[in-house]
Structures are given as C-alpha cells and as structure tokens.
Chains A and B, each alone.
Chain A
C-alpha cells in the first residue's frame, strides 16, 4: 500500500459540508491513509483545478448551482476518465446516484449518513476499482489485437490451402488424362500385370482428385459470408432425401422424418450439414438388412437441436473426438469409401453459426449425430 498522500478534489458548495468532510478525513487519517484535500465550491472552479493536473480522485456533490444531477457528473466525467469519481447525493437520491455509478462513477455516498470510516473506505475502494477497470480495459484491447492477428493468420491459411489445392488440379489432370490414354490405347501391349499396375495408378489419381476437391470445399467455407434466415427444416430435409433417391433410385434405406423446429441460419450451408449427415447415415447403414435413418429435432433454450440417427455400423466412442477432424476416419477405406472431410465440413459450418456439434455411437448398433444452432435473438 502506497504511503503517499491521496490528493482529493472536493467539489461542494456548502461550507458546512466542506468543513465536515475535512474533519472526517482528519479523523480517519492514519499512517496508511493520508489525504490532501483541495476544495472547489463551483463546477467551473473544479474543472479548472482538474485541468491543472495532480488530482488523484474527485468527491463530487450532485446538487451544484450551475448544473443538475446527472449532468453534473457527466461534465466532470467527460473531463477526466483517468481519475476516479465518488458522487455524493442526498437522502432521497439513491436512484440518481446509482445512475451515476452506471455511467462511470466508482461509488456513491449519501450526505448526512457518512462518517470518517465510511469516507475513507469509499476513497480507497474507488482508487482500487478504477485501477481494476483500467486493467480490464487494457486486457480487452490486447485481446482485440490478438483476435485481429488470429483473423489475419486464418485468412492467410485459407488462401494458402485454397491456392495449393487449386494448383494441384492441373498436374493431376495431366496424370489422369495421360494414364487414361495409356490404358485405352496401349492397354493390350501392357499385359495383365501392367494393366493391373496402371489400374492402381488411376485409382490413386481418382482418390487424389477427390481429396483435392474436398480440401477446396472446406477452404471455401471459410471465405463465404453467412446470411441468416428462418429455415423450414422439414422441407430442407425432404429436399436432401429427394436428392438421394434421385441419384440412387434403388436406395433401400427407410427414412423417418420426425418433427423439426425451424432453424435460423444460412440455408445453403444448413443444407450442406443435412446432406453430409444424412448421406453418411445412409452409407454406414448400407450393410444392414433394413437400414433406417431417422431425422428429428427439438426446440431448446436459446438454441434448437437436431439429430440424424442410423442403425448402421456405428463407431467406438473411444474415438469420438477424432470423428470431426479433417481426414480422420473411424473406418477403413475398404469398408466404406470417403475422404474424411464430410464431418469436418459439418463442424465448421455449425461453428460458424455459433452452434455445437457432437456424436454418439456404439459399435454395430449405429450412430447419432447431433447439431445445435442458436435461435434468432429477439432484438
């Protein structure tokens, strides 16, 4: 604790109140608490003294002659945001005093109900509170800066992965094209083993192409601007199902759409979520005799939760944290094709909406994927 004196400016019109304050401070003085009191009996005098500097804190009466109540406080406060202000109000002015605190005063005192100890406590408290406020403001500024840096780094990474994937396409096209020519025009000359090896080259090429497209899709997500609207989830889900049936009329999965509350989000992106989750559900339950895919949802407090459930091959919960990572797969390529980007896309979209995504599964019993989207905030 500093032993130096606290220089307090008292802005008070009443001669008695001024004397009384002096006396209270003298009573409360100790080796750790010493106050140098300066007095101003008018707002203008007070402001002038403040402008000369050296004041550590202000005791301000809210009923001065030239101004009124809150305006009094605002004038002094705008003059100096570095110096803590404690306002003094009358017995019935608690509301006014609290408004002053809301607008930046560190504390308030009720005239006629103050003694030396209370005054001392209020002064010391106000000084500490002001310091704490400054610390928080500084931390906030630093956070903002770091946020900006992070944003910039993120953008660079997105641009990088986009351009790399993009630039990989051209040479890949060459490999794909020429290996196809080889296979079509020189296949006979290659012989059995040669044809098999070329086949593996072409498979690898296809897979690489898929990977590149997936990375591109993922990185495009980062740049897109989100436009939120009210979405009829039941309609969107049946769109997805129509798409699935159209691309595979033989699809034997049974779909159960339960009641779905409307959501608030970017329709294209939410469509992407549903497409990914539902086609995953279809894919991983393909081996069942009766694959069943259930889609449902419910309204919650501040957010709506939706789920896609299947009775397919499931997964071990031990590895659930891997499920949403890019290229992480919980099943081998032989069992089920895929690059492991679908869930990463879902997660990124959900997070960009400010929502959450999680999953439950049991080996051999199927899996349920949940996502929650925040509801529209009522303004």
Chain B
C-alpha cells in the first residue's frame, strides 16, 4: 500500500476527491435538521461509502474506520426511516472534521472516543 502513497499524481486525486466529499458531507449535515430526508441521507451515505473505499485503497485505515461507522449510520437511518436526532448531528459534524484532519495526516486525540460514540448511534 505504501507504493500507492508514493504515487504523487494518484494521491493528489485522492486528496482532492476526498476533500470535496467531506465538504459535501458537511454541507448536507447542516441541512439535516433531524427530519428524514431520503435524498440527503442517500448523498451522505454515498459520500461516506466512497471515502471508505478509497481510503482503504491507500491504506488510511483510520479514515476508513470512521467513514465505515458514518456509512452505517446513514444506511440505518435510510433503511429503517429513523430520524437523526438533533443531538446526534453535532457528533456527525465532529466526525466530518475528524475525517478532514485524518486526511491531512494531522494529529488527532479523540479518535477512539469518537468511534465509540458513533457505535452508540442506532445500536444493532
């Protein structure tokens, strides 16, 4: 996997696309307001899903894990028509910020804790 990160051109595509997706996620989260909106949920799902796949391909495992949790939440909300409570949205925004920091390879301190909190949303 480290060979991929050596490929400068490919990594540039990764950074740009992933940043765009995170921006889109943040925009959509801001409009969520806790009501069901299938279109928005689907977009959020696909953002998380795409980031999950590509970060897995380049070996950014931590980013893969966070987006995997986010993807699950958006999918459950959509499939079971559950509203994302207004108390959950800040957590999701925080996660989006975390994704950005992970993408930039910045230091993060609350990674494990955030993953735990995400697991508690719509538990199985």
Contacts and interface: CB of A to CB of B under 8 A. Distances in A.
Interface residues of B, number: 22
B28 to A, nearest CB: 14
A17 B52 contact: no
B49 A90 contact: yes
Nearest to A112: B56
Interface string A1-35: 00000000000011111011001000000000000
Main secondary structure of the interface of A (DSSP, over half): loop
B88 interface: no
Interface residues of A, number: 17
A112 B53 contact: yes
A113 B68 CA distance: 14
Interface string A316-334: 0000000000000000000
B68 A17 contact: no
A92 B57 contact: no
B47 to A, nearest CB: 11
A23 B55 contact: no
Contacts of B5: none
Contacts of A80: none
A255 B86 CA distance: 86
A128 to B, nearest CB: 26
B72 interface: yes
B18 A16 contact: yes
Determine the main DSSP class of B at the interface with A: helix
Contacts of B7: 23
Contacts of A63: 46, 49-50
A82 B57 CA distance: 31
Contacts of A111: 53-54, 56-57
A14 B53 contact: yes
Nearest to A89: B53
Contacts of A23: 4, 7, 10
Given A91-B68, A92-B68, A13 B53 contact: no
A105 B46 CA distance: 22
Interface in A32-85: 63, 65
Given A17-B54, A90-B49, A112 B64 contact: yes
A16 B46 contact: no
B54 A20 contact: yes
Nearest to A61: B53
B17 interface: yes
A251 B33 CA distance: 95
Given A23-B7, A63-B49, A112-B64, A16 B54 contact: yes
Interface string B60-88: 00001000100110000000000000000
Nearest to A88: B53
Interface of B: 4, 7, 9-10, 13-14, 16-18, 46, 49-50, 52-57, 64, 68, 71-72
